[in-house]
């Protein structure tokens, strides 16, 4: 019997898609519709509880740059395995991906496997220059007929070993943690960012949440490579005339060269 198989992949997304074809995909036991399974036998460091994007998660691996993550995995299927994939990508902005830096850690690894049960040890070095912050780890698997396992999903919280000190954010405007502004007028954010190491290629961003819980992302400015350890900022936000009246929660957040961050929260009453 002549067989053919084809697989395709969408990288750096949740989807790991594939299929296989045969002239007759059934056997005496009928067509294969069962998913393969993925088991995490052990990990080093061990996954623990942590806060990711303001939500408590149970599968969080804490690691420093320059070290490594070791995963002992087992893949199994009722008939025959085909491939597995390990995908690591940043989750700095809770997957809005507002800041993708060249030194953000990214890994995409696909390996062929065969048999009904396969044990694998994956050693994943964390780059020395990886930016601090949250990353997604996804482990996916296909069997020989393209059935996809339920993915294993972990978060990795990286601390940069070169610089793990957050920058200092000083605001001169607004001068109070609670202010009022009329619709159609400007709201000025002025101050200084300083750091023990460097803020070059870092950034400052301003987001806010309205009384109805809708989040907005109006302002962002990157620091130049020549910024060194300190930079001033002066950003203006014009309150839309159509904005919802009431108290809005503004967050002024800044990042240094290695993505360490600090923020200030200001309540602004739109009237």
For the whole model, what pTM was predicted?
Answer: 0.76
- Give pLDDT, residue 95: 53
- Give pLDDT, residue 27: 53
**Distance between CA atoms of residues 23 and 138, nearest Å:** 33
- Give pLDDT, residue 106: 92
- Give pLDDT, residue 199: 95
Reported as a single tens digit per residue, the pLDDT across 254-268 is 999 999 999 999 999
Query: Residue 102 pLDDT more than 70?
Result: no
Task: Say which residue, 154 or 12, is predicted with more confidence.
Answer: 154
Instruction: Name the band, by pLDDT with cuts 50, 70 and 90, for residue 99.
Output: very low
Buried b (16+ CB within 10 A) or exposed e, 160-193: beebeebbebebeebeeeeeebeeeeebebebeb
Q: 65: cis peptide before it, omega within 30°?
A: no
The total number of residues shown for the chain amounts to 271
Beta-carbon contacts of residue 169 (< 8 Å; ≥ 6 apart): 191, 193, 204, 252, 254, 262, 263, 264
* Domains of the chain with bracketed CATH: 3-159 (2.60.40.10), 168-270 (2.70.50.50)
**Distance between CA atoms of residues 254 and 190, nearest Å:** 13
Beta-carbon contacts of residue 176 (< 8 Å; ≥ 6 apart): 266
**Distance between CA atoms of residues 200 and 231, nearest Å:** 9
Query: Residue 28 pLDDT more than 80?
Result: no
Reported as a single tens digit per residue, the pLDDT across 72-89 is 999 999 999 999 999 999
Reported as a single tens digit per residue, the pLDDT across 122-176 is 999 999 989 999 999 999 999 999 999 999 999 999 999 999 999 999 999 999 9
**Distance between CA atoms of residues 269 and 173, nearest Å:** 15
Burial of residue 102, with CB atoms counted within 10 A of its CB: 0-12 exposed, 13-18 middle, 19 or more buried: exposed
Longest pairwise C-alpha distance within the chain: 78
């Amino acid at each position: 019997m002549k067989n053919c198989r084809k697989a395709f992949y969408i990288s750096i997304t949740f989807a790991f898609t594939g299929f296989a074809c045969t002239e007759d995909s059934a056997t005496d036991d009928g067509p294969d519709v069962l998913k393969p399974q993925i088991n995490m036998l052990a990990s080093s460091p061990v996954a623990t509880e942590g806060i990711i994007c303001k939500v408590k998660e149970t599968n969080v691996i804490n690691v420093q740059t320059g070290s490594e993550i070791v995963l002992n995995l087992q893949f199994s299927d009722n008939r025959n395995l085909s491939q597995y994939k390990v995908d690591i990508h940043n989750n700095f902005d809770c997957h809005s991906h507002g800041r993708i830096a060249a030194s953000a850690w990214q890994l995409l690894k696909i390996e062929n496997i065969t048999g009904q049960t396969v044990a694998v040890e994956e050693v994943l070095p964390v780059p020395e220059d990886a930016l601090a912050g949250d990353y997604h780890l996804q482990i996916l698997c296909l069997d020989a007929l393209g059935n996809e396992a339920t993915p294993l999903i972990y978060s990795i919280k990286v601390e940069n070993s070169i610089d793990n000190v957050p920058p200092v954010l000083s605001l001169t405007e607004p001068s109070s943690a609670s202010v009022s502004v009329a619709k159609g007028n400007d709201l000025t954010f002025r101050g200084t960012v300083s750091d023990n190491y460097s803020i070059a290629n870092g950034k400052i961003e301003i987001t806010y949440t309205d009384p109805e819980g809708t989040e907005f992302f109006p302002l962002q400015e990157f620091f130049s490579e020549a910024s060194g350890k300190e930079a001033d900022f002066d950003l203006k936000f014009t309150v839309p005339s159509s904005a919802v009246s009431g108290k809005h929660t503004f967050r002024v957040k800044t990042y240094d060269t290695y993505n360490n961050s600090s923020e200030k929260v200001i309540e602004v009453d739109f009237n």
